[in-house]
Structure 1
Amino acid sequence: MSVDLDFDTIQDLMVRGELSGTAAEVHGHLSGMLCMDTTTDPAQWLEDFFGEETPREGEYDRETFEALYRQTRRQLTDTDFSFQPLLPDDQESLDSRALALGEWCHGFLQGLGYSGETSDWPGESSEILRDFLEIVRLDAQSAEEADEEAYAELTEYVRVGVQVIQSELDAVTPEGRH
């Protein structure tokens, strides 16, 4: 089965299934969990994020979320730096995209198990995580079209930051991570 794994597809599944969270948040959570342990099982991720709302086996929704898991894991473990946070397209309002970026970072921090304590994180990871926490706190409602360039820079910073965190965690705990 070939599934389009864009933001709108995942968001539609979330709404249709009456699942908590947003597409950005669920992808951020998945990305954080996979940065900590790339051997995390898709069923474990679904249970951790959705709890009792977890889509059942054999459902289209479950298959789509598992495809999202495989795609994200591949992007994080490939050496081609293809990882992209799952965010709305540029046709959406800047407010909507900025809100989704904050939701993505919130999900990522949760999936990573980040508590705000940075002393245990290697290299640049602690600074990046503090920055992600600040992105979560940004006021998306005050975004103006003049902030389009700033949004693009933040999105790229998040994309690269995730890959830095993945690489640094891999360097300190390589066994059992792939």
Structure 2
Amino acid sequence: MSLINERQDFADIADTFLLHGSMQSPAFLDGRLCASLALHDLSAEAWLEAVCLSLGVEQPRDEVAAERLLGWRRQTLEALSGSELNFEPLLPDELFSLAERAQGLKEWTQGFLEVIEDAGDGPRKGWSEALREAIDDLHGLTAIETDLEDSPENENDLFALTEHARMAAMLLYTEQHPGKPQVEQVDDPKNPPSH
């Protein structure tokens, strides 16, 4: 059975982690994945190795698990590089409490920033002011209060913070890969706009 076209969500990946004896949340690794794809063009082999290392196993337990983990990388790369700008961090969804969702965002941000910090100042030199500010603002998310009560106000706040993380990841990928996604290339090249 091939899972190639099946969209992976947080629960799918968390279940795969459980099969490997790990209770950790996929959010932290997803943050690392996003930053690694942007900064290092992380290969499928290197990703599988990183996940297995994190799970404390030598290799995925079977082909289905390997395909799911590789599908996770593939769908993230496609979303980050696509022109639709539909990238979403892999975070707990509405089935989880607000506290669990806030914890997921915090862990995602920690993973994302860890890769950026490990890369040093080199990549940062070419960044726009907007990207620098977006990344600097993310540091605040690593200290967010996660013991949230379920309320519309908290829900809205968490949505706004998640949106900030999402935009920062897309901006990082776009600036590290000029021309992909083709955001500015909306005009038909055969009919250039006349100024």
Q: TM-score, normalised by structure 1?
A: 0.83
Partner in structure 1 of residue 14 of structure 2:
11
CA 1:160–1:37 in 2, change beyond 3 Å: closer, same or farther? same
The answer as to 2:95 corresponding to 1:91 is yes
Give the structure with the higher percent helix.
1
Cα distance in 2 for residues equivalent to 1:119 and 1:17: 36
* Contact 1:105 1:132 (C-alpha < 8 Å) held by counterparts: yes
Partner in structure 1 of residue 177 of structure 2:
170
The percent identity for this pair of structures is 25
Selected match of 2:65 from 51, 58, 61: 61
State the structure with more CA Rg: 2
What residue ranges of structure 2 are gaps of 5+ in the alignment? 180-195
Selected match of 2:134 from 128, 147, 166: 128
Partner in structure 2 of residue 175 of structure 1:
none
* Contact 1:125 1:164 (C-alpha < 8 Å) held by counterparts: yes
Higher mean displacement: 72-81 or 13-22: 13-22
TM-superposition CA deviations, 1:74-109 (whole Å, max 9, x none): 111111101110111113111000000011111112
TM-superposition CA deviations, 1:20-46 (whole Å, max 9, x none): 7421112111111101133x2111023
Cα distance in 1 for residues equivalent to 2:10 and 2:60: 21
Partner in structure 1 of residue 43 of structure 2:
41
The answer as to 2:85 corresponding to 1:78 is no
SS of residue in 1 equivalent to 2:167: helix
Q: How many residues align?
A: 171
Q: TM-score, normalised by structure 2?
A: 0.76
Partner in structure 2 of residue 100 of structure 1:
104
Cα distance in 2 for residues equivalent to 1:71 and 1:85: 11
Partner in structure 1 of residue 144 of structure 2:
138
Higher mean displacement: 40-49 or 87-96: 40-49
Letter in 1 for 2:74: R
Cα distance in 1 for residues equivalent to 2:43 and 2:119: 23
CA RMSD of aligned residues (A): 2.5
